[in-house]
Homo-oligomer: A and B are copies of this chain.
Amino acid sequence: MLAEAPESDWQTVDPSDLVLIESARGNVVFALAPEMAPKTVKNVLTLTREGFYDGTGFIRAQDNYVAQWGDTDAAHSLGSAEKTVKAEFDREADGLTLVALPDTDTYAEGTGFIDGFPAAWEDGRAWLAHCYGMVGVGRDEPADSGNGVELYVVIGQAPRHLDRNVTLIGRVLDGMPAIATLPRGTEKMGFYATKEERAPISRVRVVADIPEAERPVYRMLKTSSASFAKLVEARRNRRDPWTKRAAGHIDVCNVPSVWQRVR
């Protein structure tokens, strides 16, 4: 189905919106959503470019919930990044291209996609949805404490109750199996009991900062395209001989990823 989509339904992802993590588990690439969380994304880009994440590791893996990386020990300096960042749990829906799914959602008035990312909306506000692979900034009790020194990714059933409680900044495009198979931590909330259990992260870079010849290149099926609508409909009503009863519905977190690595 994706193979049939015309070239005009795809767009190349801006390498400034891509982050590459090199870790003992392999490479992980995630896409940023600056339109949804500009201040937080800016802080994460600063932390990345100043080497904050280099030498950190995966610190937490909680089964059917999230895995987390970064620095809990504040051993690394924040450099010129901000210590607090205004919460970007949601934003005005005005000015965004919301592509609605036709089905009802348990958690929100509307769900669908915003520029490739799963999202939800209600009463004029819109936010990214906590689907598998979505990346958020861990925070303490204060709403503005999510500065990006700890990032988490959803590895199980979508914890949609976290929507509008944490700032989501993007989605993992490659490397989810490596993260999802991290040994689960034995401490509370899946934190590892010892530093030795952490899978080390050697280097994290903004893809735009990598020499062009070495960069991974991604494209995204425009979620506003006819091809995407066709993909969603094909998943809502599967017509293969194995399927005995088409679902007739789809949850936003069951829509397949629209990103592809090109090179």
Least distance between A217 CB and chain B CB atoms (Å): 22
Assess the A251–B106 pair: CB atoms within 8 A.
Answer: yes
Task: Kindly state the separation between the CA atoms of A33 and B45 in the bound complex, as whole angstroms.
Answer: 50
Cβ–Cβ contact B103 & A176, under 8 A: no
Q: Which chain B residue lies CB-closest to A166?
A: B244
- Residues of B contacting A245 with CB < 8 Å? 89, 164-165
- A69-B246 Cα distance, complex, nearest whole Å: 26
- The interface residues of chain A, by DSSP majority, are classed as loop
Looking at the complex, which one of B63, B181, B253 makes contact with A183 (CB distance below 8 Å)?
B181
**Residues on the B chain within 8 Å of A161, using CB:** 235, 238, 243, 246-247, 250, 254
Asked whether, in the complex, the Cβ of B247 is within 8 Å of the Cβ of A107, the reply is: yes
Question: Once bound together, how far apart are the Cα atoms of A173 and B51, in whole Å?
Answer: 42
B243 contacts A165, CB within 8 Å? yes
> With A and B bound together, what is the CA distance between A228 and B143 in angstroms?
31
Q: Scan residues 111-151 of chain A and give those whose CB is less than 8 A from a CB of chain B.
A: 131-133, 141, 143
Closest to A236 in B: B161
Distance between Cα atoms of A130 and B250 in the complex (Å): 14
Given contacts A164-B245, A254-B161, whether A64 and B106 have CB atoms under 8 Å apart is no
What residues on B are CB-neighbors of A64 within 8 Å? 132-133, 176, 180
